[in-house]
Chain A
Amino acid sequence: MSSIDAAASPSGASRATGSVYERWQLGHKLSGIGIHVVLLAYTTLAMFPILITAINSFKKQGDIFGQPYTIPTGSMFTMIGYQTVFKRADVLSYFSNSLIITLGSIGLSLLLGSMAAFALSEYKFRGNTLLGLYMALGIMIPIRLGTVSIVRLSSTLGLTGTLQGLILIYVAQNLPLAIFILTQFFSEVPIDLKDAARIDGASEYWVYRLVIPLVRQALFSVTVFIMIPVWNDLWFPLIISSDSTRTITLGVAKFAGEFQTDYSAQLAALTLAMLPVLVIYAIFSRQLIKGLMTGAVKA
């Protein structure tokens, strides 16, 4: 707090009008408390639905209705909801499908996106700017609007109901943003470094390999941007996945729809689906939010 005081009384003037300064200081403290009250209230509102779902997923139906706010301990604690979920839904297969789709989409988007971004930022060829604009089209136009044709296309290519089909759709959807972000970072890599490698006889592919580690921060940002929307998507799994390629998001939607009256099972399914995302988020929240903030400033 001493730094506030120093900032607020830059000269002797405030000393002379001590009462004004003291009142200001009091007002400042009060507004400080006010800020915490408001933020605490909103944080509670943001977290309450998540917490009450998680807490009640470990209770029996009766306790969920009778004592929804109690933490389940002792005899109240039960895993019955989770047992129902694992018995009646192929949760592990949903999770592994979601994992394969998400990792596949991230990997391919990073590889193809970084290659294209490298070329766009490195070589001045005819049509460079035009190509950059072409790739940027997809940032603003939602891929959903082409769904009818995507369905036709994936049935023609035999991709319907496969994990590869979903991965290719997500890669196409995420390439524009990946290329947009990575191009900016590649153009910041010093030219000397690349030219030194070229003089030593390195091929262009080798130069690309050489600069990849220098943009790893951007690769990480892109990963975070792709990960959450792909994992959470409902639309494309709903339309083109089959029973065996169902994702966790679709699986939960279907399960919760079928078990509407079984609160234990429904809450357990929702908690299970939230868990991996919240764990990943807890680990990477700082990078995610920093990435969003720097992305916003750059754009």
Chain B
Amino acid sequence: MQRIARKAFPTHIFVFLLPAIIIYTLFMIYPLFDSLRLSFYDQSVINQPATGNLLNIQAPNFLALVATRTSQPIFVGLDNFHTLLGDPNWAGQFKNALGNNFVFFSIHMLVQNPLALFLATLLTAKFLRGRAIYRTLIFAPTTLSVVIIGFIWKLLLNQNWGIVDGFLKGIGLGALIQPWLGSDITALPVVSLISVWQWVALPMVLFMAALVSIPEELLEAARVDGASAWRIFTEIKFPLVLPTVGIVGVLTFVGNFNAFDLIYTMQGLLATPNYHTDILGTFFFRTFYGFQLKSGNPTMGTTIAAMMFLIILTGVLIYMFGWQRRIARIQG
């Protein structure tokens, strides 16, 4: 086969590969590296208010702004990073967004992924009737746009309509009622749980795939020996789905540290109340795009993107070299 392919100059290889390489390099790899490069440059800030405001954005003006600014970038080394991490105006916002992002991620790890494993275990129970129906319905929210989910939950939580509040009153928990999205304490956990509600089916399906691949004889043998469902879960099923726990963990990490849409839809670019729901994605957008009377700052935006890149890369590397290797060792 190889001899046949090598007879002439392999033009066809280039024809097959070049279109994909060009588009991918031009619209993905180049922007990522160019963006990293830009984080070492500075642009004098023009005092021109951004035209975009919450959910009422006029993109072309913003673009004109970026175009005029990028004409004379000055190399400033790590200055932007010093500003982001040291300047009180920036560092406070960055630490706040980073901290909130960790809370957002932790809620996904502690609620979404255990819940996903729990549902997956139930859905893979032997002789379960209606498995496909449950699975299909539980997965439905995952297919919808985060924007739609955000607006729906905003309405359900709205005290004027009072769907969620009415439900809590109905089950005798009326005392708990809060301005869910307006309170400093509840806003971030509530938004995080809505994200959990939307995405839980994705890890659930991945866990189901791992659970159904466990040999039935293994489970049957344990059952015959009189092992309880809990022991079968902790001593057989859980160790065998550990590789999937790792994949789910890293996917959650990358997704959470790149999130934006839900906070933007529900809490706006100012991440109300008082930036208590601000995460890196909204901070990044607000910085490079500008909001209300504050104009966008593309180079500081790229600096935040570079930090996000480092954080995501660290997470992926920990997974690849920490987790995956250990799992490979355990499983021999």
Contact = CB atoms under 8 A, between A and B. Distances in A.
Interface residues of A, number: 111
Given A46-B138, A160-B60, A252 B147 contact: yes
Contact of B35 (A65, A149, A204): A149
Interface residues of B, number: 104
Interface in B288-332: 288-289, 298, 301-302, 305-306, 308-309, 312-313, 316
Interface in A251-298: 252-254, 256-258, 263, 266-267, 270, 273-274, 277-278, 281, 285-286, 288-289, 292-294, 296-297
A148 B4 contact: no
A147 interface: yes
B17 A232 contact: no
Contacts of A299: 247
Interface in B34-50: 34-35, 38
Contacts of B23: 108, 112, 168, 171-172, 175
B35 A146 contact: yes
A21 B50 CA distance: 74
B60 A242 contact: yes
B145 A231 contact: yes
B139 A285 contact: yes
A54 to B, nearest CB: 10
A152 B147 contact: no
A191 B5 CA distance: 13
A92 interface: no
Interface string A238-256: 1111100000011011101
A289 B139 contact: yes
Contact of B119 (A42, A53, A241, A296): A42
A195 B1 contact: yes
Interface in A134-172: 134-135, 137-138, 140-153, 155, 160-161, 168-169, 171-172
B32 A131 contact: no
B31 A150 contact: yes
Contacts of A8: 223
Contact of A138 (B29, B201, B205): B29
Given A145-B32, A285-B136, A289-B136, A240 B145 contact: no
A160 B64 CA distance: 11
Interface string B115-134: 00001001101111110101
A172 B24 contact: yes
A35 B31 contact: no
Contacts, number: 297
A36 B127 CA distance: 12
B145 A46 contact: no
A143 B24 CA distance: 11
A258 B56 contact: yes
Interface string A52-82: 1100000000001100100000000000000
A270 B305 contact: no
Interface stretch (B8-16, B91-99, B102-110): B8-16
Interface string A40-55: 0011011101101100
Interface in B239-277: 244, 247, 254, 258, 260-261, 264-265
28 contacts: A4-B127, A31-B229, A35-B125, A38-B122, A49-B153, A52-B163, A64-B161, A68-B161, A131-B21, A135-B20, A142-B254, A143-B28, A143-B31, A146-B28, A146-B34, A147-B31, A147-B35, A153-B26, A176-B28, A253-B265, A257-B54, A277-B145, A278-B144, A281-B140, A286-B136, A288-B143, A292-B206, A293-B205
Interface of B: 1-2, 4-5, 10, 12-13, 15-17, 19-21, 23-24, 26-32, 34-35, 38, 54-57, 59-60, 62-63, 66-67, 70, 119, 122-123, 125-130, 132, 134-141, 143-149, 151-153, 155-156, 160-161, 163, 197, 201-202, 205-206, 208-210, 212-213, 220, 223-224, 229, 244, 247, 254, 258, 260-261, 264-265, 281, 288-289, 298, 301-302, 305-306, 308-309, 312-313, 316
In order of increasing CB-CB distance, the 8 nearest A-B pairs are A146-B31, A257-B55, A172-B27, A119-B16, A232-B145, A116-B20, A149-B31, A293-B209
